[in-house]
Amino acid sequence: MSSPSPRTAVVTGASSGIGAATARRLAEAGFHVVLTARRTERLEALAAELTEAGHSVAVHALDVTDRAAVDAFAAALAECHVLVNNAGGAIGTETVATADPADWRTMYEVNVLGMLNVTQALLPALTASGDATVVLMSSTAGLATYEGGGGYVAAKHGVHVIAETLRLELNGLPVRVIEIAPGMVKTEEFALTRFRGDADRAASVYTGVAEPLTADDVADTVAWAVTRPSHVNVDLLVLRPRAQASNYKVHREQ
């Protein structure tokens, strides 16, 4: 008897950080993983590593803010059981009084409209699969705020309420909606992007913090939530490092 073909998982923003780690974890969990991001070189490298390890993967260059490209991607996809909306990010630390609206627009475009584009485009395939999961990568910034976070916090609050809205709207269909809300995660790019490439400022975010979360810690929770039995919907999973008790309260060793 031939074994059943693997279920397909699409991961956006899979070229680095939480997205790449999630792609690895889902491949290890037996999914055929479609890696998407703008930077194909990095995707190809990850795909080669996973293929070498015996996993089933495909690569598709995708800018989630380009709706026509997203629609073409969806049309070319044979099937989809899991969508991990991971692409996103923060730009700048300016106050509401001084922020550049262009930065806020970019953050809304990527974190909210990008997620909307991919989710809308893949929902027919997800629903048709008969047993699907949509993961939305929000943030603890989607649940509470902090000074200088305004634009990012607004976008991630958007992701949070869209997860809740989508879960209501899809009720009765075989599609789970899971929101993962990480706090302080040390990745190579998140803080660097926020601080516009200033490596010292980016590194200072983690100064004295014994063990910030890693991308793999988050990926582990995504894979865990996705692989629960189909009738179990992990609505919202908040994870922080032990050293972080809230967005504000972070224990730093001297």
Residues 24 and 47: their CA atoms lie apart, in Å, by: 9
Q: Report the residue from 116, 123, 141, 213 that binds ligand 8X3 according to the rule CB under 6 A.
A: 141
In the complex, least distance from residue 69 CB atom to ligand 8X3, rounded to whole angstroms: 25
Verify binding: residue 247, ligand 8X3, rule CB under 6 A: yes
Residues 174 and 176: their CA atoms lie apart, in Å, by: 7
Residues 136 and 152: their CA atoms lie apart, in Å, by: 15
In the complex, least distance from residue 244 CB atom to ligand 8X3, rounded to whole angstroms: 8
In the complex, least distance from residue 28 CB atom to ligand 8X3, rounded to whole angstroms: 24
Residues 45 and 72: their CA atoms lie apart, in Å, by: 24
Residues 6+ positions from 102 with CB-CB distance below 8 Å: none
The answer to whether 11 and 86 have CB atoms below 8 angstroms apart is yes
Verify binding: residue 139, ligand 8X3, rule CB under 6 A: yes
Other C-beta atoms closer than 10 Å to the C-beta of 71 total 14
Q: Report the residue from 92, 183, 212, 241 that binds ligand 8X3 according to the rule CB under 6 A.
A: 183
Verify binding: residue 140, ligand 8X3, rule CB under 6 A: yes
Residue number with CB closer to ligand 8X3 (11 or 141): 141
- Of 9-17, 60-68, 128-136, 137-145, the segment contacting ligand 8X3 by CB under 6 A is 137-145
Q: How many residues bind ligand 8X3 (CB under 6 A)?
A: 7
Would you call 206 a catalytic residue per the annotation? no
Q: Torsion over CA of 213, 64, 31 and 22, rounded to 10 degrees?
A: -10
- Of 3-11, 33-41, 95-103, 133-141, the segment contacting ligand 8X3 by CB under 6 A is 133-141
Strand locations in the chain (E) = 8-11, 32-37, 57-61, 82-85, 132-137, 175-182, 236-239
Q: Which residues bind ligand 8X3 (CB under 6 A)?
A: 139-141, 149, 183-184, 247
Active-site residue list: 152
